[in-house]
């Protein structure tokens, strides 16, 4: 062991510390698999006090720390490729309390999202943030990435669910803002500092999360549509007529659905070949009335030529089956070799122009490129994948197009290591300078997730 690690063991003799090659490999990478893992060691604290001890030790030795959750991140945020200490929160994974009056659950950061769903259900409530990595991703990682998912349209991003938060700062002190009040304008809301900042400002050790009433009715519909304009028109119609009943609105563009349908384990709900497919979901409290209203709007959309074909779930089994079709996009895309993927947000009004211009520009240098697009259309969030002979050129085209359209280079996955060089396209110099000032103020030795989101040295910042 190295001298700093010897010192860590001396200071925290009960700390679980892993240094075996297999563990370094396992904990040193995230879902991206793009960087070669090379951490110094893996620390698995069991308490806030151990987290504090680790951070103090890191500060004294100048060792960089990578806070680590489920490592399902898609931007390299939890990758340890440069001798960092991985600080895995996976052993801190318990429910700490439930407040029935305020409907909040207080949890530790290592708890998987799916376990949080189940814990909420035990109290007859739901935790509404959901996405395909639910079984592996952790609350700490979700908070650090301000995760989104499939029901942002109705419930908002993670930020909207966090009512209280505790974090260990880079100097080892604990900042506790755990009152869990829905309204509290008594000075700065410091908990916000740790939401979406990708572990660069503190290690999240506790959170009070907002639960919601369990919907009595849930119905979804899978629609084939002639165009993106039609999908945006249907979204407007559903919002206008159903208001807050609409809980999800997902899109899948040709040819992705066709590729999925060719190898689906389940029967394809609609024939392949349409330009656009949408999965719309409602959640309500009056099962018969809600289904009727949903069906009426969909029927009108068919009559108006907005929707070409539609299948509506008639049972919980069919409801789940339609969601499985949506999530099947992950199976198909993650199995493709050589695919690059970006997670972007685009104003709906400019999405059509963006898609057309990006495809034209990519095909200009690679006529055979494969382009697969799906995402959370209700939030203006697209997952845009390209298989091309020149990935660098494709990245440049897509991100420049995003900037021109007034969008974001990361809608929900975060910047991490992956998108640092593109941040300046969508954030002003003043914004990035303020991010740097915050980071320097809270973490002067640059211990926490060094080199994520931006580099501290402006000269190292790619322009
Ligand atoms: C199949 C699939 C589907 C996905 N779908 C979505 C989706 O729809 N929406 C979405 O938002 N994301 C999605 N993701 C991305 C990913 O699941 C999320 O970013 C998730 O929030 C990451 O959680 P994690 O615990 O795996 O974090 P990790 O990957 O472990 O870490 C992510 C970041 O958080 C930091 N971090 C982790 N724990 C802490 C902590 N306790 N304190 C401070 N910082 C911490 C890490 O350092 C890193 O910067 C998907 C991923 C996969 C593989």
Tell how far the Cα of 93 is from the centroid of ligand 1, in angstroms. 15
Which pLDDT tens digits describe the chain residue by residue (463 residues)?
788 999 999 999 999 999 999 999 999 999 999 999 999 999 999 999 999 999 999 999 999 999 999 999 999 999 999 999 999 999 999 999 999 999 999 999 999 999 999 999 999 999 999 999 999 999 999 999 999 999 999 999 999 999 999 999 999 999 999 998 889 999 999 999 999 999 999 999 999 999 999 999 999 999 999 999 999 999 999 999 999 999 999 999 999 999 999 998 888 999 999 999 999 999 999 999 999 999 999 999 999 999 999 999 999 999 999 999 999 998 999 899 999 999 999 999 999 999 999 999 999 999 999 999 999 999 999 999 999 999 999 999 999 999 999 999 999 999 999 999 999 999 999 999 999 999 999 999 999 999 999 998 755 433 3
Say how many C-beta atoms besides its own lie within 10 A of residue 181's C-beta. Answer: 14
* CB atoms inside a 10 Å sphere around CB 117: 15
pTM over 0.75, yes/no? yes
In DSSP terms, 284 is beta-bridged to 217
Q: What pLDDT, on the 0 to 100 scale, is given for residue 461?
A: 39
pLDDT of residue 363: 98
Residues forming beta bridges with residue 65, ordered by sequence position: 85, 448
Nearest-angstrom CA–CA distance, 379 and 376? 6
Residues 6+ apart with CB under 8 A from 97: 105, 106
Please list, residue by residue across 29-57, b when 16 or more beta carbons sit within 10 angstroms of its beta carbon and e when fewer do. bbbbeebebebbbbbbbeebebbbbbbbb
Nearest Cα to Cα of residue 238 among 177, 188, 280, 185: 280
CA 343 to centroid of ligand 1, rounded, Å: 13
> How far does Cα 243 stand from its chain's mean position?
25
Nearest 5°: phi and psi at 158?
A: -55, -40
CB within 6 Å of ligand 1 — which residues?
30-31, 66-74, 77-78, 89, 109, 131-133, 137-138, 140-142, 144-145, 147-149, 198-199, 203-204, 330, 412-413, 416, 449, 452
Is the separation of the CB atoms in 120 and 127 below 8 Å?
A: yes
CA of 73 to the centre of ligand 1 (A): 4
Spatial distance between the Cα atoms of 177 and 353, rounded to a whole number of angstroms: 44
| Ligand 1 atom 9, closest CA | 149
Q: Whose CA is nearest to atom 8 of ligand 1?
A: 149
Q: How many CB atoms lie within 10 A of CB 239?
A: 15
3-state DSSP helix/strand/coil percent for the chain, to nearest 5? 40, 20, 40
Radius of gyration of the chain (CA): 23
**In a mutational test of the pocket of ligand 1, which residue from 110, 144, 454 has the highest number of ligand atoms less than 8 Å from its CB?**
144
What does the pLDDT read at residue 210?
Answer: 97
How many other CB atoms sit within 10 Å of the CB of residue 312?
A: 18
Please state the atom number of ligand 1 nearest to the C-alpha of residue 72: 26
Short-list 409, 370, 408, CA closest to 389: 370
Neighbours of 68 (CB within 10 A): 32
Whole-number Å distance, alpha carbon 142 to ligand 1 midpoint, is: 5
What's the CA angle centered on 27, arms 26 and 29, to 5 degrees? 80
Contact criterion met (CB below 8 Å) for 154 and 126 = no
Q: What SS3 string covers 183-203?
A: CCCCCCCHHHHHCCCCCCCCE
What's the pLDDT score for residue 459? 54
- What's the pLDDT score for residue 322? 96
Strand-strand pairing, 203-210 and 212-213: unpaired
Give the three-class secondary structure for 222: strand
Two structure tokens written together for 205: 């050790």
From the centroid of its chain, how far is CA 231? 23
Six token digits for residue 397: 């085209």
CA dist list (Å): 432 to 198, 427, 443, 448: 15, 7, 16, 18
Which residue's CA is the nearest one to ligand 1's atom 20?
A: 142
Task: Say if CB 290 and CB 231 are below 8 A apart.
Answer: no
pLDDT at position 265, please?
85
d(CA 348, CA 328): 25
């Amino acid at each position: 062991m190295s001298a700093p690690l010897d010192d860590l063991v001396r200071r925290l003799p009960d700390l679980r510390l892993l240094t075996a090659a297999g563990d370094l490999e396992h904990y040193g990478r995230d879902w991206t698999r793009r960087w070669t893992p090379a951490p110094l060691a893996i620390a698995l604290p069991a308490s806030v006090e151990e987290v504090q001890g680790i951070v103090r030790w890191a500060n004294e030795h100048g060792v960089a720390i990578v806070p680590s959750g489920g490592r399902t991140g898609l931007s390299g945020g939890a990758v340890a490729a440069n001798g960092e200490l991985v600080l895995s929160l996976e052993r801190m994974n318990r429910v700490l309390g439930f407040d029935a009056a305020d409907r909040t659950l207080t949890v530790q950061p290592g708890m998987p999202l799916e376990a949080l769903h189940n814990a909420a259900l035990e109290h007859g409530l739901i935790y509404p943030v959901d996405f395909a990595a639910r079984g592996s991703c952790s609350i700490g990682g979700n908070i650090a990435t301000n995760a989104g998912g499939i029901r942002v349209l109705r419930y908002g991003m993670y930020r909207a669910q966090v009512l209280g938060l505790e974090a260990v700062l880079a100097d080892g002190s604990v900042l506790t803002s755990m009152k869990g009040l829905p309204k509290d304008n008594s000075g700065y809301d410091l908990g916000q500092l740790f939401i979406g900042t990708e572990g660069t400002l503190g290690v999240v050790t506790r959170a009070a999360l907002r639960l919601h009433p369990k919907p009595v009715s849930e119905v979804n519909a899978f629609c084939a549509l002639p165009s993106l304009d039609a999908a945006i028109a249907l979204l407007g119609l559903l919002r206008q007529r159903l208001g807050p009943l609409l809980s999800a609105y997902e899109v899948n563009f040709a040819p992705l659905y066709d590729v999925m349908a060719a190898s689906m384990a389940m029967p394809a709900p609609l024939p392949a070949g349409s330009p656009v497919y949408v999965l719309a979901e409602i959640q309500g409290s009056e099962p018969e009335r809600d289904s009727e209203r949903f069906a009426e709007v969909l029927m009108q959309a068919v009559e108006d030529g907005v929707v070409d074909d539609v299948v509506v779930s008639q049972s919980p089994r069919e409801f789940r089956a339609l969601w499985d079709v949506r999530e099947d996009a992950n199976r198909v895309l993650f199995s493709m070799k050589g695919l690059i993927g970006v997670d972007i947000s685009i104003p709906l009004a400019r999405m059509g122009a963006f898609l057309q211009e990006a495809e034209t520009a990519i095909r200009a240098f690679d006529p055979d490129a494969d382009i697969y697009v799906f995402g959370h259309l209700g939030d203006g969030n697209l997952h845009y994948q390209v298989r091309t002979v020149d990935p660098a050129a494709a990245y440049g085209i897509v991100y420049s197009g995003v900037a021109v359209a007034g969008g974001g280079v990361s809608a929900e996955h975060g910047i991490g290591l992956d998108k640092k060089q593109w941040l300046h396209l969508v954030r002003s110099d003043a914004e990035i300078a303020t991010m740097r000032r915050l980071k320097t103020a809270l973490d002067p030795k640059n211990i926490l997730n060094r080199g994520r989101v931006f580099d501290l040295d402006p000269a190292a910042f790619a322009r």
